[in-house]
Amino acid sequence: MPLLRRLVLLTFAALALAFPATGARADAAEISAIVDRFATASKFPQVEAVIEALGAAGDPLAVPALRALEAGELQVAPDGRVVIERGDALLDPVTLEAAAPVEGRLKKVRTKNSIRRMIGDVISGLTLRAPEPAIRMTAAETIFASADAAQLDALEAALAEETDAGVKSRMEEARAAILLTASDDPAVQMAAIDIIADRGDQQALAVLATYANQASNADVQAAAREGVAEIESTLAMWQAGQNIWYGVSLGSVLFLAAIGLAITFGVMGVINMAHGEMVMLGAYTTFVVQETIRNSFPGAFEFSLLIALPLAFLVSGLVGLVMERGIIRHLYGRPLETLLATWGVSLILQQAVRTIFGPNNREVGNPDWMSGAFMIGEMSVTWSRLWIVVFALCVFGALLFAMNRTPLGLQMRAVTQNRRMASAMGIRTPWVDALTFALGSGIAGIAGVALSQIDNVSPNLGRTYIIDSFMVVVFGGVGNLWGTLVGGLTLGVVNKFLEPYAGAVLGKILILVFIILFIQRRPRGLFALKGRAVE
């Protein structure tokens, strides 16, 4: 609902802007004359009469004035002029051009709730015939929600002229909503129910459900109930779709966070406990890039993420390389010690970031193309999540290519499958290890860029993801990119489906328990490497 409301408001804002362009209608003067009658309307019935007159005139030019009236901005000057007072500016109520200054005090045209409701209806009636289809659409929607029988005539008239198929069907639905309550012919009502049920969204459900409780005719009532059930099942499907989408988006975040870990674990057999901190470094790189851009090149903000991606890859990758060369290389064959040493690194990195950037969340902005949301049917999709899913798929594709088509990938796979053999065949395993570690860390860095868009950037960022990433790796199995993808997506979707029933925390606990049980069946994950070498 709030979304719809926002949409309506947005449209009206567009409307207000649109009118000056189309404003040069022949009857602007006529509308002005009617609007000026507000000056003398001191009682509510008189105000209502003026509004009705504006509605009868049937010209969308009256809309700004009506909106201003609704918002309490419509004022009467001592000289009898009617003006809109918006902020410090005074505007002409019809042309919306700046009005001449006023001497003395302005007097507000008074309204009350019933009048405001009436204004809304009149505006929708007026806008039914606006030139822009989007505006007509909104008007039809407004009528659908109010189901105000008074609008029926205007609606029928508009419907007769309507050429846009989408708008037309919305108008038909609006008419059905009116007829459902206004008509007492069961046949008409049944037809209306069919139309409304076909619409199948939350509003349709509200209209039908309300009606089902008060219908006088048993048949119609039964049909309405049926319609309600039908809509509910449609909505349940959309809800499931929404959950899947949330799950996929969470899953791709998990995938991004885990894939680097899976690669290093697969190739080198070591768990990098500082992996989460690599993600954090990527997020802070984004922060630094945005800070620099804000201070020096404000125009480039839209590109901040594109700039941050390679930088984050380099920063985290370099830290990873240093770690491998400085520490991990000396611990080869001792995976448990490696785990501890990398934990030590994670403590140091965390504290270093805390010392440099402070312990609190840092603000990382979304560029415009990452902000906002749109609807698919009844599903709401935020751009940032969508881009992260797309990004995760790109990373996956790129890694797939790198692993299967490049010499380094070939060598990495060889080392994963049989380190000793690979080494005997002349593959320089230390070199492969170093590059693998740098690659895994670098990917964590770019995951950090993505995460900075949807999560708080704080020194603890890595901690929040590390256990989840482990679970993805344990679940998906190592040495196979698909395992991580499927593991991440599965855990994401399962998590989101559990949440409504179990709550976020319990859901997470259930997943952990599930994974602990899962590795009973498959101790090496979904996509385990096979063969003797792994035993």
Sign of CA dihedral 116, 120, 125, 131: positive
Considering only the stretches 57-65, 148-156, 192-200, 344-352, report the one whose residues sit in contact with other proteins under the rule CB under 8 A.
Answer: 344-352
Nearest approach, Cβ of 418 to ligand ATP (angstroms)? 11
16 binds other proteins (CB under 8 A): no
Phi, psi of 373 (to 5 degrees): -150, 165
Nearest approach, Cβ of 422 to other proteins (angstroms)? 17
Find which of ligand ATP, other proteins, none residue 224 binds, CB within 5 to 8 Å per kind: none
Nearest approach, Cβ of 502 to other proteins (angstroms)? 11
Interface with other proteins: number of residues (CB under 8 A):
48
| Separation in Å, CA 162 to CA 124, 137, 199 | 15, 11, 19
Instruction: Name the residue nearer to ligand ATP (CB basis): 526 or 529.
Output: 529
Among 127, 203, 350, 480, binds other proteins (CB under 8 A): 350
Question: How far is 60 from 134, CA to CA, in rounded Å?
Answer: 14
Question: How far is 313 from 442, CA to CA, in rounded Å?
Answer: 4
Question: How far is 163 from 265, CA to CA, in rounded Å?
Answer: 61
Instruction: Name the residue nearer to ligand ATP (CB basis): 60 or 477.
Output: 477
Question: How far is 167 from 132, CA to CA, in rounded Å?
Answer: 10
290 binds other proteins (CB under 8 A): no
Question: Residue ranges of the alpha helices (H) in 183-217?
Answer: 186-199, 202-214
471 binds other proteins (CB under 8 A): yes
H-helix or E-strand spanning residue 85: strand 82-86
Residue partners of 70: CB distance under 8 A and separation at least 6: 111, 116, 119, 120
Question: How far is 459 from 455, CA to CA, in rounded Å?
Answer: 12
Angle of helix 383-405 relative to helix 407-417, nearest 10 degrees, comes to 80
Strands 74-76 and 379-382: unpaired
Instruction: Name the residue nearer to ligand ATP (CB basis): 131 or 531.
Output: 531
521 binds other proteins (CB under 8 A): yes
DSSP secondary structure code for residue 457 in this structure: B
Instruction: Name the residue nearer to ligand ATP (CB basis): 88 or 535.
Output: 535
Nearest approach, Cβ of 465 to other proteins (angstroms)? 12
333 binds other proteins (CB under 8 A): yes
- Per the DSSP assignment, residues forming a β-bridge with 362 are 457
348 binds other proteins (CB under 8 A): yes
138 binds other proteins (CB under 8 A): no
421 binds other proteins (CB under 8 A): no
Binding site for ligand ATP (CB under 6 A): 531-532
Find which of other proteins, ligand ATP, none residue 35 binds, CB within 5 to 8 Å per kind: none
Considering only the stretches 8-16, 384-392, 494-502, 519-527, report the one whose residues sit in contact with other proteins under the rule CB under 8 A.
Answer: 519-527
Q: Which two tokens stand for residue 31?
A: 């509308």
Asked whether the beta carbons of 127 and 159 are under 8 A apart, the reply is: no
Residue numbers 246-285 binding other proteins by CB under 8 A: 265, 269-271, 273
Instruction: Name the residue nearer to other proteins (CB basis): 481 or 511.
Output: 511
Find which of other proteins, ligand ATP, none residue 338 binds, CB within 5 to 8 Å per kind: other proteins
What's the chain's Rg over C-alpha atoms?
32
Nearest approach, Cβ of 420 to ligand ATP (angstroms)? 15
Question: How far is 139 from 124, CA to CA, in rounded Å?
Answer: 4
Find which of other proteins, ligand ATP, none residue 346 binds, CB within 5 to 8 Å per kind: other proteins
Nearest approach, Cβ of 358 to other proteins (angstroms)? 12
Question: How far is 107 from 130, CA to CA, in rounded Å?
Answer: 31
Instruction: Name the residue nearer to ligand ATP (CB basis): 105 or 532.
Output: 532
Residue numbers 439-468 binding other proteins by CB under 8 A: 467
495 binds other proteins (CB under 8 A): no
Strand ordering across the sheet containing 74-76: 89-91, 82-86, 74-76, 107-108
For other proteins, the binding residues (CB under 8 A) are: 265, 269-271, 273, 327, 330-331, 333-341, 343-348, 350-352, 355, 467, 470-471, 474, 505-506, 508-509, 512-513, 515-517, 519-521, 523-524, 530-531, 535
